[in-house]
Amino acid sequence: MSNGLAARLDRLRSCVDDVAPTLVDGERKTVLFFSFTDGSRRARTLTVTAPTAQEAWDIGSRQAIDSGADARWVRIDWVDAVERRTWAELKAALRTIKRNYFRLGISLDPQFEHAFLETELNANAMLYGGNKTPAAVLNEKNFAIYAARRHGLADLTFADDDPIWLFTTKGAFVGDDLALYPISDAGLDTGRRAIEPLGPPQVAHLIEAGSTYLASQVGEDGRFDYGWHPCFDRPIRAYNALRHASTVYAMLEAWEVTGESDLEQAIERALAFLTGELIETVAIPDMAEEAAFLVDVGDEIKLGGNAVAILALLKHHALTGCGRSLALAERLGSGILHMQDSRTGAFRHVLTHPSLEVKERFRIIYYDGEAAFGLMRLYEATGDERWLNAVEKAFDHFIAQQHWKAHDHWLSYAVNELTRYRPDDRYFRFGLDNFRTYIDFVLERITTFPTLLELMTAAEAMVSRLRSDPERRHLLDGVDLSRFYRALDHRAQYLLNGHFWPELAMFFANPAKIAGSFFIRHHAFRIRIDDVEHYLSGLVAYRKYLLGRAGEDTSEPSTVRGDGKRRWDAADMTRATGGRWHTAPPEGWTASGLCIFAPTFREGDVIALRPAEGWPGGIPPVPAGRLSGTAAAVIGDDAERLPGAPTPAMLVDDVGAAVLDMGRYAREQMRGKVIGVTGSAGKTSTVAMLAHALSTYGTVGQTRHNANLPHGIAWNLASIPWDAPHVVLELAIGRMAQNSRLTRPDIAIFTNVLPAHLEFHRDLATIARRKSAIFQGMRAGNVAILNRDMAEWERVHLAARSRGLQVINFGTSDDCQVRLIDYDSGSGRIVAEAWGEQKTFTLGAAGEHMAHNALAVVATLSALDRDPRPALSRLAGFSALEGRGREFSARINGARVTVLDEAYNANPGSMEAAIALLGSKSDAGRRIAVLGEMAELGPNSIDYHTALAQQIAREPIDRVYALGALYDGFWDLLPGARKAARPCSLEELQAALFADLADGDVVLFKGSHSTGLHQIISQIIDR
C-alpha cells in the first residue's frame, strides 16, 4: 500500500470509534464505506458490514491495503439510518424529487453486500433521465453499468415488488493537506465538508479555487474549454462569445482578490481572443465614431454581449491601466447606443452582423440589465454624460414595463450604480422592488442559483447607502431588513453546495480536472464557464460585503414597550406587508396581535378585513365595523371598504398574502425556541401539555383555536409576543411544507402515524411522508422528537436524518432515549427513564396515551437544555382539554355520573386509547362506551370500525352504544351482554342513554366531530 493511503487511513481511524450499529430489518450491524482515489480516476469504494465498528474498520482497512492503490483523497462513510422500501415506492418517490437531488444511498440487500452511496448514485447518473426530465428517475442502463463494475452484478432487475434499503450516512475525509474534515449529514449540505458560517478567508479560498479552475480551461489560443459533463468526463461542444466575455470579467474580479500570476496569464490570453477574434468594428452612418460589436455564433450581435465585453475591458483597464481596453469599451458602448430606441429608451436585443438588421427586439431580460450596468461602468470610467443619459432613458422604460418583477441580478447591479450618481427615489424604489418580494425565494430555492447571491449583494450595496441616508431611509420602511440580511448570508453559505470539493469530485470520472470548480447539480453536475463565473462574481461581492460589515450591526432595532412585550409598531406593519397607511396611526402606536376570525378578537388586535374576492378568510365588513372601535388597526385591499379616521387603516395588495407576511415577519423577530407538533392523534393535547409545562420558565405562545394551516399559523405567530421564550404550535398535514417553512421549528415533535384522513392520504406511508414535511422548514442541527413505537417510524426517522436533524426517540422500546417504565392510571404516576436517569412525576390528565405525550414533554425539556424538575412537577395540575379526554362529574336524570369527553375527533388509534382509558376506570359502577363513527378512513372504513369489537372485548366495558351504519359488523361481533343500543339519530341516542344511566357510571363519548357527539356533551353541561 502507498504511504499516502496509509497516512490518510491513520488520520481517519478515530472517526469510527463512536459509530454505533444501525438496526436493519431487526438486526444490528455496522456498515462502513471506504472510498479512495489518486485523483486521476473515479474513486474505488469498498463496503464492509460487521457487528461493530472496530471489526468493520479492521476488515475494510485491510482490503484497502491489499488493493495496492495509491491515494490522494480518502473518505469514510458509515450508515446511521435505514428504511426498507420497494423499487415501486422509490420510483414513485423519485417523481416528487428534483433531478439529482435524491440524497440517500441505496442497498439492494439488508446485508449491504450490494450498496451504493448517494455520491456514487449521482456521480454515475444512476437516477438521471436527461435535462428534459425535471424529476429524478431510475436510469436502469446507468445503474446496471455501475452495479456490474462496482459489485460484479449481471442481469440486474428492478421489479416493482423487490425490496431495497435506503440509508443516510455520516463520514469524514482526508485530502492533500492531511487535515481531517467531517462530512456534513445536514440535509442539502450532505456529502461535503461541514463548514462554519463563511468569513472572508474561507470566501477567498473559494474564489482562488474557482478562478484557478477557470485559468486551467483557457487554451494557448485564448479560447476556453467551454464546459464538461463530469459524470463521464464528456466535453460540452458548444461555444458562446457572450459567456466568454463575462467569464473574463469574473476572472478579473477574482484576480483582484488573489493576484495569482497563472490567472493573470490566462486572463491575458482570453482577453486577446476576445478583442482579436470576437469583437468587430463597424462604421455606422449616423454616428461620428465607429462602433464595436461582440459577434456571437450565427453572426448574432447580442445586446448583453456588448455589455459584458465592456465590463471585462473596463475591469482590465482599472487593474492594469491599459488604454486600449478603455477605447474599445467606448466603441462597444457606441454599439449599445445604436441598439437603443432614442424615443422610448428600450433596447433592441439582437442584431445580425454585418448588416445590423434587427433579428429580435426582445430575447431575455438579462440583456437589459447587462446593457445598463455596462453603460454605468462606462460613465464611471469616463464621466461622459451620454452614457448616464442613455441609462436614465432605459430606466424610464424599465419602470414603465415593471422590469423589477423579473428580479434580475443584472438589473440589481445596474440600479445600484445608477443610484450612486442619480439618487432619484424612483430608481431606489425600483431597486427595492427588484428583491423585496423575492426574499422567500432566495431563502427557499433548492438549487444553488448563484445569480441570487449577485442579486442580493448588489441590492445590499444600495440598501447600505439608504440606511446611512437620513433623508431617504424611509424608503426602506417596506423592507424586512433582518430577513433580507439572513437571506443574503444563507444564499452565500448555500453556494458551498455547488462547489466541487475533492470529497465530492472523487466520485466522478476525472476528479483532479474538476476539483475546485463549481457545478449545477440539476444539470447532471454540469460545469460550464458561465456557471463558474456567476459563482465567482457572487463570492467576490460577498467577500467585499463581509470585509465592510466587520463590526456593523445589520439587524433592525427592536422596540420594547413598557410592559416588556415586543409589539407591532407602524414601521413593522409596513415592513411586513409592503402596504401603505391609508389612515396613518398616531405617534407611538402599537398593536398586540392580529385577528382573522371575529370570535378570537382581543383588544389591540389588527383586523384583517375579508376581501370581496380571493382569500375566503378575514372578518366580514359588518362584524369588522363593530370591532374597529377597539381594534388597533384594519388592513384591507379596497380603500373604499376601509374605515375612516380615527381608526388606523392600511391598504395592501392582497389581504391573505399580508396575513402570511405578518406571520413570517413575526417569526423572524422571535428569539425564543419554536416547537412544532404534528401527528395523527395527540397534537392538540401535546401542545397544551407542553405549553403548561414550559410556562414554568415564562410566557408561552401557543396555537389557539386549533388553527394549524398556513393562515391560521400565521395568525398565531403574528399574535404571540416576540420575546416569549417558548412557542408551541400545532402543524396540520395539509400544506405541511408551507406550514413548516412559515413556522421554522427549532424542535419538531411527531406524536404518531395512525389511520386518519385516509380519504385524502391513501395509506399510512403517505401520511408519514406528508407529515414528514414538517422537517423541511428546519435547519440542520435542529431536533426531531419521534415516537419510536409509531407506525412508519423508519420512514419518518430517515426523513429527519436526511435533513441533518438530531433525533430523540420516546416510547416503550429499549432503544428510546426517553422511555416509559411504568404508568399508574389511578394515581397518574409516571416513571420514565431519560438517558439512563429515572424521572418520576404525576400527570393530571388520565390515560396511557397522555403518558406517552408526557414523554414527548420530557424529551423537549432535554432538547431545550432545561432543568426538567419544575416543569414536570407542574404536570400534576394539567387537565385534559375539552373533547380530548376532559373528565368531569355531572348529574343526569338524577344519576351522578363521570363523563369522559373524547368527542372532538376520532381515528382508530385515538379510539383504542380512549377505550383503554375507559377500561382503566376500576372504581366505576358501570363503564359505558358511546361511540360515534370515525370519519375519513377511506375504503377500509368498515374494517377499522369492525376491528374495535376486539378492543372492547379485551376491556372490562359493560355497555356500548354505537351510532352509525359503519358499526354494523362491529355490532354483530359484540357480545350480547355488552350491547346497549344502536340508535338512528343523536336524539334517540341521548334519550336512550340518559334513561339508562345510574349513579357511579362512567360514560365515554368518542367519535369524529362530524358525528355530533359533542352536542350531547353540551347538553350535559347546560343541565
Chain segment 689-737, per-residue pLDDT in tens: 999 999 999 999 999 988 999 999 999 999 999 999 999 999 988 899 9
The predicted model gives 258-281 an average pLDDT of 97
CA 379 to chain centre: 42
Question: 821 pLDDT band (50/70/90 cuts)?
Answer: very high
The predicted model gives 845-858 an average pLDDT of 92
Q: What is the CATH number of domain 568-660?
A: 3.40.1390
Residue 757, pLDDT above cutoff 80: no
Cell 455496522 identifies what position? 30
Evaluate the CA torsion angle 990, 996, 1001, 1003 in order and state its sign: negative
Question: 309 pLDDT band (50/70/90 cuts)?
Answer: very high
pLDDT, the chain, mean: 92
Question: 197 pLDDT band (50/70/90 cuts)?
Answer: confident
The answer to whether residues 317 and 325 touch, using CB atoms and an 8 Å cutoff, is yes
pLDDT score of 720: 95
The predicted model gives 780-808 an average pLDDT of 91
CATH 3.90.190.20 fits 886-1022, yes or no: yes
Do the domains 886-1022 and 568-660 match in fold? Answer: no
Long-range interactions of 432-436: CB distance < 8 A, separation 24+: 432/459, 432/462, 432/463, 432/475, 432/476, 432/478, 432/479, 433/404, 434/404, 434/407, 434/408, 434/459, 435/407, 435/459, 435/484, 436/478, 436/479, 436/578
pLDDT score of 529: 98
pLDDT score of 581: 94
Integer Cα distance of 328 and 315 in angstroms: 12
Question: 762 pLDDT band (50/70/90 cuts)?
Answer: low
Chain segment 380-429, per-residue pLDDT in tens: 999 999 999 999 999 999 999 999 999 999 999 999 999 999 999 999 99
Segment among 2-11, 137-146, 571-580 with least mean pLDDT: 2-11
The predicted model gives 928-934 an average pLDDT of 93
Chain segment 514-538, per-residue pLDDT in tens: 999 999 999 999 999 999 999 999 9
pTM of the model: 0.84
The predicted model gives 276-294 an average pLDDT of 90
Q: Which residues pair with 606 in a beta bridge?
A: 594, 633
pLDDT score of 1019: 86
The predicted model gives 348-363 an average pLDDT of 96
Strands (E), 361-411: none
Domain ranges of the chain: 3-189, 205-549, 568-660, 670-877, 886-1022
The predicted model gives 90-96 an average pLDDT of 91
| Amino acid found at 782 | N
Higher pLDDT, 555 or 179: 179
Question: 201 pLDDT band (50/70/90 cuts)?
Answer: very high
The predicted model gives 164-186 an average pLDDT of 93
What is the four-CA torsion angle of 428, 432, 433, 439, rounded to 10 degrees? 170
Question: 551 pLDDT band (50/70/90 cuts)?
Answer: low
- Planar angle of CA 134, 135, 141, nearest 5 degrees: 105
Residue 761, pLDDT above cutoff 80: no
The predicted model gives 104-133 an average pLDDT of 96
Chain segment 441-480, per-residue pLDDT in tens: 999 999 999 999 999 999 999 999 999 999 999 999 889 9
Residue 564, pLDDT above cutoff 50: no
Integer Cα distance of 760 and 26 in angstroms: 32
Q: What is the CATH number of domain 205-549?
A: 1.50.10.10
Residue 314, pLDDT above cutoff 90: yes
Superfamily of domain 670-877 in CATH is Mur-like, catalytic domain (3.40.1190.10)
| Amino acid found at 704 | R
Integer Cα distance of 861 and 658 in angstroms: 34
Residue 137, pLDDT above cutoff 80: yes
Integer Cα distance of 34 and 54 in angstroms: 14
> C-alpha grid cell for residue 638?
379596497
pLDDT score of 555: 52
Integer Cα distance of 1003 and 1006 in angstroms: 10
- Planar angle of CA 458, 459, 463, nearest 5 degrees: 125
